[in-house]
Amino acid sequence: MDKRVVITGIGVLTSNGAGKEAFWEALRSGKSGLRTITLFDTSTTIAKTAGEITDFKAESYLGDKGFRTFDRSTKLVLSASKLALDDAGFKYPLDDDLAVKTGVSLGSTLGSVWSISEFDKEGLRGGPRSVNPALFSNTVINAPASQISIKFNIKGFNATIATGFSASLDAIDYAVNQIRNYGYDAVLSGGVEELCQQTFLGFHKIGHLAGSRSGKPEINCPFDKRRNGIALGEGACIIVLEELSHARKRSARIYAEILGYGTSFDPASRNIYSPKAEGAVRAMTFALQDAEVAAGDIDYISASANSTLDCDTMETRAVNRVFGDEAKGVPISSIKSMIGDTFSAGGAMNVAASVGAIMESFMPPTINFREKDSRCDLDYVPNKSRQGDIDKVLVNSFTPTGVNSSLVLGKVNN
């Protein structure tokens, strides 16, 4: 029998709340974290807002020493890791017996873009001898994950998953497999992305941001007819995953159980969300099969929808195909309406939100929902959260480059 993997700690930093309690309350109240960007100059761009964490100070989480040369991604994920370990009741640095049976699995794809740009800038201006070698480690994509292990004395495996929008959901499944198949007791897993000028301009220039095309409003409204692109967000979310008997042995608080996972690559996606939704359908179907639950057992769907025309329509079509006649009776909502699209961190954010939904018996709303789109015909929990007992949640994370992943969470009932 497969080992059961449960969630025992959550550390989350988003633009609308720091820490799980603040995050859950913000979702319950429909609080948006989108605001005018202050991290860099937006005078040359049409779009000027994002889910920026404006009051983030790593010192308040990590103290004053040891991270001066770290980039924003690493500071965010170290802070989220501390929150997660505290929430799970782990003392750190971990003692050696636990350290060798604990791992790190992090989703991050764009986390090193700012560091690479700044490092190369110095080299181009002053030549190779002018660069600061202390900053070089930030340019590699696995730097944030490595620093988690260094900071908290984690001696097991250390992995970085870079599958774009679905990276943190894929990282969570990688962690689950390590616990089930390789004898690990616990894994810190999740995702991180920082907001920086380089990624913002990249998304702006390809017209992927709301308001980045002339004549289109800068609005973030998943499933709404007015949608025209994403609002970029940032943040870090770390989840402590633990083998069930290990968690019970130390009398840990158990939030939820990972019941199943499915993933499918769709070759028809070429920087757009595939209209036929074949990959999304397979990912959800595989996740339900892996969890050994029927579509009718799902009480709530945490959506991938990010306020783009193609993503929201594709997900709606996929849900209708998988759930059939029951589709319109299953609430589905997008927390990206409140925090923006946090790219690689988005799947983990959805998992943290879904744990809140299970624990606090509420469904987060899709805010800014005003005009119905005939192609989006499901129950999107519009504008206000909804109370209700939730036993099982389907979490979706789909990408325009072909990767589609889904995860099933549930209460631990025995």
Would residue 224 count as lying in a domain?
yes
State how far the Cα of 48 lies from the Cα of 42, in Å rounded to an integer: 6
Paired tokens of 410: 């549930």
249, 280, 314: which is the final residue of a domain? 249
Which residues contact residue 158 at a Cβ distance below 8 angstroms, ignoring those fewer than 6 apart? 103, 104, 142, 145, 146, 148, 149
Tell me, yes or no, whether 12 lies in a domain. Answer: yes
Q: Rounded distance, CA 59 to CA 75, Å?
A: 9
- Assigned domain for 10 exists: yes
Q: Which two tokens stand for residue 99?
A: 């350290």
**CA distances for 381 relative to 68, 174, 322, 364, angstroms:** 43, 31, 20, 7
CA 190 – CA 205 distance, rounded (Å) = 28
The structure's pTM equals: 0.96
Do 216 and 343 lie in a common domain? no
pLDDT at 136: 80
- The DSSP symbol for 156 reads S
Strand partners, 189: 105, 239
Residue 375 has a CB neighbour count (10 Å cut-off) of 13
pLDDT of residue 124: 72
Phi, psi of 390 (to 5 degrees): -125, 120
Number of domains within the chain: 2
- Give the whole-angstrom CA distance, residue 397 versus residue 410: 18
Together in a domain, 242 and 307? no
How high is the pLDDT of residue 83? Answer: 98
Q: Does residue 254 lie in a domain region? A: no
Buried (b) or exposed (e) across 128-165, using 16+ Cβ within 10 A? eeebeeeeebbbebbbbbbbbbebbebebbbbbbbbbb
What distance in Å separates the CA atoms of residue 179 and residue 247, rounded to the nearest whole number?
A: 12
Task: Return the CA Rg of the chain.
Answer: 20
pLDDT one digit per residue (tens) for the chain, 414 residues: 579 999 999 999 999 999 999 999 999 999 999 999 999 999 999 999 999 999 899 999 999 888 878 999 999 999 999 999 999 999 999 999 999 999 999 999 998 888 888 777 777 777 777 777 777 888 899 999 999 999 999 999 999 999 999 999 999 999 999 999 999 999 999 999 999 999 999 999 999 999 998 888 999 999 999 999 999 999 999 999 999 999 999 999 999 999 999 999 999 888 889 999 999 999 999 999 999 999 999 999 999 999 999 999 999 999 999 999 999 999 999 999 999 999 999 999 999 999 999 999 999 999 999 999 999 999 999 999 999 999 999 999 999 999 999 999 999 988
Rounded Cα–Cα distance for residues 34 and 195 (Å): 12
What's the pLDDT score for residue 413?
A: 85
CATH number at residue 374: 3.40.47.10
Nearest-CA neighbor of 393 among 355, 364, 367, 361? Answer: 355
What span, in angstroms and rounded, lies between the C-alpha atoms of 164 and 269? Answer: 13
Same structural domain, 356 and 325: yes
- Residues pairing with 341 in the sheet: 232
| 381 is a domain residue | yes
Domain assignment present for 128 = yes
CB contact at 8 A, 210 and 224: no
272 and 399 together in one domain: yes
**pLDDT score recorded for residue 116:** 80
CA 128 – CA 50 distance, rounded (Å): 34
- 216 and 125 in one domain? yes
Domain end residue (candidates: 216, 249, 282): 249
CA distance 46 to 51: 16
Q: How far is Cα 93 from Cα 350, in angstroms, rounded to an integer?
A: 28
Q: 156 and 283 share a domain?
A: no
186 with 265, same domain?
no
**Rounded to an integer, what distance in angstroms lies between the CA atom of residue 233 and that of residue 200?**
10
Structural domain range at position 389: 259-410
- CA distance linking residue 118 with residue 336, whole number of Å: 29
- Do 239 and 275 reside in the same domain of the chain? no
Q: For residue 320, count CB atoms less than 10 angstroms from its CB and return exposed for 0-12, middle for 13-18, buried for 19 or more.
A: middle
Q: What is the pLDDT of residue 261?
A: 98
End position of a domain, from candidates 192, 223, 249: 249
